[in-house]
Structure 1
Amino acid sequence: MGFKQVIVIATLAVSAVQVSSKDVKTLYTNGYYYSQFFPLESNMAAEKTLRFSVRAPRDAHILLAPSHQADGPVYEIVLGAHDNTVNYIRGRCPCQEEPSASIRTVNLLNRQQFRNFWIRIKSDSRRTFIQVGIGGKDTPFHEWRDPRPLNLQYLSFRSGTPAEWKYGYSDEANTVGVSADRHQSVVTSTGYGQYYPLSEVVSHSDDAVTLYFTVRTSKEFQILLSPAVSSLGDCYEFGISQRGAYLRRRHLGENKAAFKQDGFSNDRERARYWIRLTRDGSVTMGKGGSASPVIQWRDPSPLSPQFLSFTLHRERGEDPDASSFADVQFALGPDYSLATQDCRARWKDASGGLPPGAVRGGRNNDDEIFVCRASHDGEVAPGSYVPIKGRIGECHVTSSLFVYQKTEFQVLTGCRFGWLPASLGAVPDAAISGGETSGNVKLFVSRVSHEDQVIVGKLQPNRRLSFIPFGDQELPFTNYEVLVKPASANGASSAGGSNDSPLIGK
């Protein structure tokens, strides 16, 4: 295997701010399974170009395939292979040992920062060109020609380490999405490999979150609701089959609730289902437009799921059957359309634990950071919820140069928010208010990129600064991003929302 060229990428800009999030998909991967496949055409920009961003330390894989089978003729692009030093294009079969084309790279991927890329497909009757480029540059840094063109229909992702993807951009700046259909996938029986942020795919209410979805399959379909991007820890698992449904808390093994009914699912049409989680531990599942659940269970020690995944059941030791699949649509509202998904901003008490479907706002060196707010010294201020392994996390807020860790606080829930850049105290339209000072000056949810971290804090317009908690210090910044309501982010109505939830007592 020879290396024909060396590409050195010392520094790439952080992904552009996502202004319109309605069509851009967010996905997490962790593991070497291509388990969910997405329609390729509906995620491509002009000139047969797939635009995406990825945040990963190494080994980010993209699959382009004629069908929902990864073991047939396909194209696979591997970014940051061999400890982030090589880029591969593998033609025809991803399992082959020798790639069709390879190129040396340096620092192509980054664990903390999103890097922007594009893949362009050029085909005629005699050959297909696969080109890979860096966002903002029109010339590819890697290319391969296949003399036997494939009819590509599906897209999938995987990664050797935890990775976050944003894909389906239509513009070179990676700000606007392509497809109006935000979430649809074909699921195979290879395991839980792709995860979706729960806040973006559920419909929110004051006391619960509800996942509305449709599925068509002849196999047993499984839904995982997990606190982390993993199926190994404690999580809820639901099963749906032609014989009925069940619910279990996965680490305990046994079913907590079950329902038997012949023909509960089928492979002729998409059947409609819903799953609802409440803060008091009620976990229910229903079918179609009926408000009555078919299974229900109250968890005495409720989990706090933040991620969603799907797979098809297979027995222990059974090889995956790539020909078996489930056709799934999700991120819907009560009438099983995107238009009725309730994404309104709500502040919910989190002193006893993170509620399901909390809004992610940033990340530190170890974890996701969620948007929170807490009271201190006469003011209510937004800040960063920092998870703490083994116990309830804290809300970090700032005041007068210092950082304060609060155990009584609220977190923001909702979906389809956007982050808009601003500076010097400017407040974009429809900005999310997170509290107010003791002098009744509104404070807004903002965030800043600092030392390879993205930290949530407060924007104080009268001081023309955004303040973030960093270590034990309050740091001021003149340039920042502001969280805006869905109406500003994607045109969805936010009328009647509860962004004006009662403030925590001062």
Structure 2
Amino acid sequence: MSIELETPDKLEYQFHPVTSGSLNFKIKAPNDAHVALTAGPEEADPMYEVFIGGWGNTKSVIRRDRTKPDKAEAETPDILSGDEFRGFWLRWNGGLIEVGKEGEAAPFLSWQDPEPAPVGHYGVCTGWGASGAWVLDGGHEVQTADKLEYQFRPVPVGALEVFVRTPSNAHIALTKGPQETEPMYEIILGGWENSASVIRYNREKPDKVREDTPGLLGSDDFRRFEVRWEHGLVSVRAGAGGGAPLIQWRDPAHIGVTHFGVRTAWGASGRWRLRTFDPRSNLPQAGAPGFSVPSAPPAGSTPTWVDARAGEVPPEAVPGGFDGEQLYVGRAQHEGALIPGKVVPSHGVCYVAWGGAEHGKEEYQVLCGCDVTWVPTAGGEIPSNALPSGETEDGEPLFTGRAQHEGTVTVGKVQASHNVCYIPYGGQELGYPDYEVLVPK
């Protein structure tokens, strides 16, 4: 999905939740395009700020917690324009903040934070005499050589719009990380000299499904496809969409997909235009009995627990922490208890703490559709307006809490009678007497 918005000449951020560790955007402004990375939907420490084209469109910097000195800076004369859109990308992972120009792989700004801060939202604004127009998370365009090597990008939702121009062998990988993983799905369009298409699991034969598709791809024009994966149903539709899938296969187990990769080979190079979109906007029909997608109410409404599994993160999921990737607020059943915990998309589970150990649950619920704040407290104290998030096997209420541990911010359960917040980490259940409690706004 892409978001288009305008920011006035006012240093006031407009915030949106993040769904991955990167942001692609275009900005038309004469100077001072600012992007903030924060835990919640407001300016609050800790936070990262990226200033592009500051100081009269001469310099760009990375700043932490709104304080000087800047953590990184670069001379960038005329990097912005008030007459045309300029494209940029921003990535964050484990405290490494990188900023680059669209079409360039190397960043022009980067900084490694020795104490990584959680990122749950991003904000954009302009100021210092400049207003701006933004296109956020728009379509990607990449080129692939005649080389069996995927180019990977994060994907926040379960659908991908693909325009590809190549004579044959357009390959798409769906993985649990920014590299070839096991398990993984692999889609080969126009293989075997543009005569057949397949879905493959873990790069293994026999193919899970194969269809004859003569003349599917073309070297003179872009061909459009929709690739979807939700609840283990992997499907590809050709052309304008609608109708029966070109190829389709249901994985009885299914994996939590966090990245996609594209490549060409076997004598073919290709040009791709790629855009993620919300699959709820056009649900598959033919051949998909019982298919459904987790749904959530708009942000700011009543807190809702949405069923999910295998790494799925529904729209409007509430971010809760960070451990090399964004963690989300979840809960799962275990030994007769309903326990708040952390959803780790790349692991495909929600981890909960119980009985001194960390337990990964493939089926879980994710908190969605509300803005929250995290209230510091200690010793079993629970704010009066905290959200009850579960209960023990004996019926004692449990609340969602979080604590800092070994450079992470990890979501767990607060059990008032035990005077601590328990977090699941490294296979253990760890108790912290000082913690934060989730409170809906």
Q: TM-score range by the shorter chain?
A: 0.5 to 0.7
Counterpart-to-counterpart distance in 2, 1:164 and 1:144:
14
Counterpart-to-counterpart distance in 1, 2:421 and 2:198:
48
Of 339, 363, 368, 1:381 maps to: 339
Pair 437,266 (structure 1): closer, same or farther in 2 beyond 3 Å = farther
Pair 133,447 (structure 1): closer, same or farther in 2 beyond 3 Å = same
The amino acid across from 1:217 in the alignment is: V
Q: CA deviation at 1:137?
A: 3.0
**Please, which runs of 5 or more residues in structure 1 have no aligned partner?**
1-17, 29-36, 55-113, 173-177, 203-210, 489-506
Pair 115,222 (structure 1): closer, same or farther in 2 beyond 3 Å = farther
Aligned to 2:27: 41
Q: CA deviation at 1:438?
A: 5.0
Aligned to 1:153: 86
1:235 aligned to 2:202? no
Aligned to 1:446: 401
Counterpart-to-counterpart distance in 1, 2:224 and 2:402:
41
Counterpart-to-counterpart distance in 1, 2:248 and 2:373:
41
The amino acid across from 1:153 in the alignment is: R
Of 18, 26, 29, 2:20 maps to: 26
In the alignment, is the contact (CA less than 8 A) between 1:370 and 1:386 conserved in 2? no
Q: CA deviation at 1:313?
A: 1.9
Task: State the aligned residue count.
Answer: 359
Q: Deviations over 1:451-478 (max 9, x none)?
A: 3122221245788864324575542445
Counterpart-to-counterpart distance in 2, 1:45 and 1:379:
56
Aligned to 2:208: 256
Matches within 5 A, 1:225-304: 225-240=174-189, 245-252=197-204, 255-259=207-211, 260=213, 262=215, 271=224, 273-278=226-231, 282-287=233-238, 290=242, 292-299=244-251, 302-304=253-255
Aligned to 1:436: 391
Counterpart-to-counterpart distance in 1, 2:79 and 2:19:
28
In the alignment, is the contact (CA less than 8 A) between 1:369 and 1:455 conserved in 2? no
Counterpart-to-counterpart distance in 1, 2:171 and 2:370:
28
The amino acid across from 2:164 in the alignment is: T
TM-score (norm 1): 0.54
1:309 aligned to 2:260? yes
Counterpart-to-counterpart distance in 2, 1:297 and 1:237:
11
The amino acid across from 1:248 in the alignment is: R
Matches within 5 A, 1:313-352: 313-315=264-266, 325-335=271-281, 342-343=295-296, 345-348=305-308
In the alignment, is the contact (CA less than 8 A) between 1:383 and 1:468 conserved in 2? yes
Question: Percent identity, aligned pairs only?
Answer: 14
Q: CA deviation at 1:236?
A: 0.7
Aligned to 1:420: 373
Q: CA deviation at 1:295?
A: 1.0
Aligned to 1:216: 163
Q: CA deviation at 1:134?
A: 1.2
In the alignment, is the contact (CA less than 8 A) between 2:294 and 2:306 conserved in 1? no
Q: CA deviation at 1:264?
A: 6.7
Counterpart-to-counterpart distance in 2, 1:309 and 1:381:
32
Counterpart-to-counterpart distance in 2, 1:361 and 1:243:
47
Counterpart-to-counterpart distance in 2, 1:245 and 1:314:
14
In the alignment, is the contact (CA less than 8 A) between 2:52 and 2:61 conserved in 1? yes
> What CA RMSD, in Å, does the superposition of the two structures yield over aligned residues?
5.2
Counterpart-to-counterpart distance in 1, 2:175 and 2:338:
31
Pair 251,162 (structure 1): closer, same or farther in 2 beyond 3 Å = farther
Counterpart-to-counterpart distance in 1, 2:124 and 2:264:
35
Counterpart-to-counterpart distance in 2, 1:156 and 1:366:
17
Q: CA deviation at 1:395?
A: 4.1
Pair 140,363 (structure 1): closer, same or farther in 2 beyond 3 Å = closer
Aligned to 1:90: none
Higher strand share: 2
Pair 313,305 (structure 1): closer, same or farther in 2 beyond 3 Å = farther
The amino acid across from 1:426 in the alignment is: P
Q: CA deviation at 1:153?
A: 2.2
In the alignment, is the contact (CA less than 8 A) between 2:420 and 2:432 conserved in 1? yes
Counterpart-to-counterpart distance in 2, 1:435 and 1:334:
28
Q: CA deviation at 1:184?
A: 3.0
Of 34, 53, 65, 1:121 maps to: 53
Pair 155,379 (structure 1): closer, same or farther in 2 beyond 3 Å = same
Pair 355,47 (structure 1): closer, same or farther in 2 beyond 3 Å = closer
2:20 counterpart SS class: strand
**Please, which runs of 5 or more residues in structure 2 have no aligned partner?**
1-12, 40-45, 99-118, 127-132, 284-292, 298-304
Counterpart-to-counterpart distance in 1, 2:390 and 2:153:
32
Pair 365,159 (structure 1): closer, same or farther in 2 beyond 3 Å = closer
1:41 counterpart SS class: strand
Q: CA deviation at 1:238?
A: 2.1
Pair 480,470 (structure 1): closer, same or farther in 2 beyond 3 Å = same
Of 120, 132, 136, 2:61 maps to: 132
2:165 counterpart SS class: coil
The amino acid across from 2:123 in the alignment is: Y
